[in-house]
Amino acid sequence: MTIITRHGIYACSTVIAGLLLMQTVGAAEWNQYGGEGGQQFTPLDQINRRNLERLVPAWTYRSGDLNQGFIQKNHSFQTNPVFWNDTLFISTSANWVIAIDALSGEELWKFDPELPKDITYSESASRGVAIWHGDTQVCPHRIFMGTLTGFVYALDAVTGQTCSDFGVAGRIDMSEGAGGVGNWFGHHGVTSPPAVAGDRLIVGSSIGDNRMVESPRGIVRSLDAITGAVNWIWDPIPRSPDDPLRAEWADDSASITGGANAWPPLSVDVERNLVFVPTSSPSADFYGGERLGDNRHANSLVALNIDTGAVVWHQQLVHHDVWDYDTPSQPTLTTIQKDGVDVAAVVVVTKTGMLFAFERDSGEPIYEINERPVPRSDVPGELLSPTQPFSSIPALVDHRALTEDDAFGVAWFDRRGCQNVLRTLRSEGIFTPPSLQGSILSPGYAGGANWGGVAIDPERQIAITNVNQIPALVRLIPRDALDALRGSGDLDGWDVSSQEGTPYFMARRFFLSPLGLPCVRPPWGKLVAVDLREGTILWDIPLGTIRDLAPSFVPNFNWGVPNLGGALLTRSGLIVIGAATENTLRIFDVETGEELWSHRLPTAAIATPMSYEVEGVQYIAIAVGGHEPLGMTNGDYLMTFSLEE
């Protein structure tokens, strides 16, 4: 590991440390991922629609992390900075942790865990760090960060030095006890910051998809924030034969199935002593014949007791997932004014393009959930749930079946290519299951909504989320047929995964035209506002133009584009968002969706903005790093904006 400060290689200075510990009076808090309750809302209102013509770049910091040297790791920069002591703390794709002066943009220190560069990685994400304050002589102010290799580090927030009393030499190996057959180094990691609950850290994990049935367990752990000792472990899959939920898993499948992990950020309600955990699909993702049943607590929102890890309540949002429809976003804690009554609520948006809200104490739905019949599988060995849960809030994306008439292209041959594909595939709307002939998943496995989650204005009672409307193609391939298909070229451009332990390989890709644009009519990405009092859609608009996505001869249409990352809301009624695969940061009016301001960026900002205040000045900060898997140029910029004098 390497620690570098602005004064050179680390050297202790109690005078400097003391000065750095001075607090800024009246500074707005953003001391956790997503801000208070994960609402992605700031009470700051200095920046408002009347002065946006004065909003300009304040300072830009460049980390230097552009993925250099890694042989098989994509690049992204997804951090949501946390703010403390007039300092921003960020993490990068290479898991560098950096402290930056929030007023000047000057680097204060940098920690490099020195990830191995000669291995493969299933992920590139590091969505940020967590901060903890306690009564201890060693590192009383700590930064916690998880790595793509499965470690959690504790660092001194003032110096960047590892905290010697935490684990072994300042780190804990989260792969210990997680299981999984074979080598998962680089494919079992921590991509979201730990949740802090008093003197406890609660940590989930990210597990590479589609490799095999016996992948690592998706366990959630509570660690002591000082020593790293394990307080409790919760496994979303019921391993004990005495657990009543074993009935949701046929035969002995609960003993061998992995996954169902919580890879997005968790949320903590200290007052209620609850941690809210969003879980993902069990392995393997696209075939469930080895794990028949509804598979609880996979694809669920689960409330755990902070002290014990016991389940207080749970709601499954997808039964027996074979679509990779994870619960992908941080649960958002807010108050919903329903029928004139204030209800303490937890809200999630899902890859299915639905918004769900539950009472925090009981888990009862605030908006009715209905079980509706869905298509059945024709794959030998598979047995799906006959129904799936649907929110009574209108869907945020299109759920209908796609036909040849829906094919889209910017030229006749482009549209014809899409029609030819549509003609051959199974397409029955949302929850169309994978098939041997090939199926259209709409929404696709990237959503719907994804890790950008939902931003909530608690005063206006408006929820904002960005969604994708890009179908995906999925097919299951019998094991003895793969070589012939590859030899014929039928799988060119497809991502093929082994799904070991099942009878089938899986092949998938996004449904794109010969010119590389989505094969369905735009918008392909939207910004959607939901009225939380009524449970209705207030407005929706396309998010992003195609200027950085389409071939140069295609006009710059405002068609809405693929997006990842989330929105920031301000008390002054602004939505600040990058997220789109376009090199632009935008501001919209939260009540109408009117675009008020935009600024061109060096690459796409596939991240979620935050806001803070120093010396009476409000700043907006966002990571601008592109996204290699989406074809965007790599970047290493942390950019801030403030009002010009």
Listed residue (547, 567, 535, 344) closest to 453, CA to CA:
567
Q: How far apart are CA 50 and CA 47, in angstroms?
A: 8
- The structure tokens 């120093």 sit at 614
Instruction: Summarize pLDDT for 72-90 with one digit per residue, the tens.
Output: 999 999 999 999 999 999 9
Token pair listed for 400: 């209908």
Distance CA 447, CA 441 (A): 10
Tokens 């070991």 sit on residue: 500
Q: How confident is the model at residue 10 (pLDDT cuts 50, 70, 90)?
A: very low
Q: Which residues pair with 132 in a beta bridge?
A: 142
Contact 95, 635 (CB under 8 A): no
Instruction: List the catalytic residues.
Output: 324
Asked whether the predicted pLDDT for residue 312 surpasses 60, the reply is yes
User: What's the average model confidence in pLDDT over 135-158?
Assistant: 97
**Contact at 8 Å (CB) between 174 and 230?**
no
Residue 289 has pLDDT above 90, yes or no: yes
Model confidence band, residue 2 (pLDDT cutoffs 50, 70, 90):
low
Write down the domain spans for the chain.
Answer: 2-643
pLDDT band at 61; cut points 50, 70, 90: very high
Query: pLDDT class for 549, splitting at 50, 70, 90?
Result: confident
Query: Which residues fall within 8 angstroms of residue 405, CB to CB, at 6 or more apart?
Result: none
- Contact between 603 and 566 (Cβ < 8 Å): no
Residues 343-368: what's their mean pLDDT? 98
The fold of 2-643 is Methanol Dehydrogenase; Chain A (2.140.10)
- Which pLDDT band, with edges at 50, 70 and 90, does 20 fall under? very low
Would the pLDDT of 462 be above 90? Answer: yes
CA angle 217–351–564, rounded 5-degree value: 100
Region 393-414: what's the mean pLDDT?
94
533 pLDDT exceeds 80?
yes
Amino acid 15: pLDDT: 34
Report pLDDT for 26: 38
CB-CB contact of 372 with 388 (8 Å)? yes
